[in-house]
Structure 1
Amino acid sequence: MAVNRAEKKTLDYALRALQLIFAIIVMGTDGYAIHVFRGHTVYEHSWFGNFYDYYGVPDAWGFLMFCAAWTVLIVIFHLIAGISFADRVLIGYIRVAVEAVAVLSWLAGFIAVAVQISTDTCSAGKNSCGTLKAATIFGAFEWLLFMVTAALTVMLVFNSSHKPRISTTRPDAAV
């Protein structure tokens, strides 16, 4: 099925808008879970001595927040690169690399948080579990959106009819 260039741009803008919306939702839900968690101090007794140990917010929650912030930057980059540098080959390869990093980041981020939901870090008695589950679900949807946009970007860059720019100087020109 042939899709013209205007329909591809419309689809790309719609997917980027969804990515931005889901990133904002993940920022809000994950940020609220981080705020509500409140670290705690535990008195530890071991064979080499007693000490107080502080348990803060798990690192995976912060990484999911990083993925959401990274997504905002990616969407801005793709909008600028798609408008200003559409005919540059190097920018196309950079777009593919950025998409690949985003896909892997979201995959790692939502899986790391999903693993912690079943642990005692997020037990049923804590208020942050519901919002953390929502952040994980929207993180999974964000990963799926990035899988789609990564596939579209790869097809656009590698199947493009654009050729690299050719030098306008003549081969016999004096140097």
Structure 2
Amino acid sequence: MTVTMAENNMLHPVLRALQFIFAIVIMGTDGYAIHVYRGYTAYIDTPTGGFYSYFGVPNAWGFLMFCAAWTILVVVFQLVAGNAFADRAWISYLRVAVEAVALLSWFAGWIAVAADIGTKACPKGYISCGALKAATVFGAVEWLLFMITATLTISAVLNSKRRPRTSTT
């Protein structure tokens, strides 16, 4: 008797719980990095004159925070929609679409922060490089978790046997 991953009812909630926990960890570490970051002002000389420009928190850090907040909504939606509305076809396709958006946003998020950190030691203004590197690693693991759950969700939707709604009269 073989049991596929899509038929395992215990694996899916465990993966969703890990996604939820990692999203909270990423919110904490990325939030700390954003909080302690000290922006800097630089004088920029142009042909028409010079000006002072303020450089604040990089946008990639904020996007990683958005990915973590989005993940909490995705996990709640997937758990509710997977159990309560499993027989509706449009909910199944919506589940796949939400999963795909989360998967792609996590891929873009951790890659953007990793490219922003670079391979050098902590540059000037990056007080909390350790927290940001931890958030990047957890973001990569979160992306891998979404790769697994996206595969499970797609296979569950494609292999589901929906019953047509019958009238009670």
Instruction: Work out whether the TM-score is over 0.5.
Output: yes
Amino acid at match of 1:127: I
Deviations along 1:109-160, whole A, 9 cap, x unmatched?
000000011178x527732211111000000000000000000000000011
1:127 — aligned with what? 127
1:92 — aligned with what? 92
Deviations along 1:58-98, whole A, 9 cap, x unmatched?
11100000000000000110111122111111111100000
Unaligned runs of 5+ in 1: 171-175
CA 1:48–1:158 in 2, change beyond 3 Å: closer, same or farther? same
* Separation in structure 2 between the aligned mates of residue 83 and residue 128 of structure 1, nearest angstrom: 41
Give the secondary-structure state (helix, strand or coil) at the position aligned to 1:133: helix
Unaligned runs of 5+ in 2: none
Query: 2:19–2:142: 8 Å Cα contact kept in structure 1?
Result: yes
Overall identity of the aligned pairs, in % = 61
1:2 — aligned with what? 3
Runs of 4+ aligned structure 1 residues displaced above 4 Å come to none
Map of 1:1-175 to 2, 5 A cutoff? 1-3=2-4, 8-118=8-118, 122-123=122-123, 126-163=126-163, 165-166=164-165, 168=167
How far does residue 162 in structure 1 lie from its aligned partner after superposition?
A: 2.3
How far does residue 38 in structure 1 lie from its aligned partner after superposition?
A: 2.2
More helix by share: 1
Aligned residues: 168
Give the secondary-structure state (helix, strand or coil) at the position aligned to 2:126: coil
Q: What is the aligned-residue RMSD (CA, Å)?
A: 2.4
When Rg is computed on C-alpha atoms for both structures, the one with the higher figure is: 1
Query: 2:23–2:69: 8 Å Cα contact kept in structure 1?
Result: yes
TM-score (norm 2): 0.90
* Separation in structure 2 between the aligned mates of residue 3 and residue 108 of structure 1, nearest angstrom: 30
CA 1:82–1:137 in 2, change beyond 3 Å: closer, same or farther? same
Name which of structure 1's ranges 36-45 and 10-19 shifts more when overlaid on structure 2. 36-45
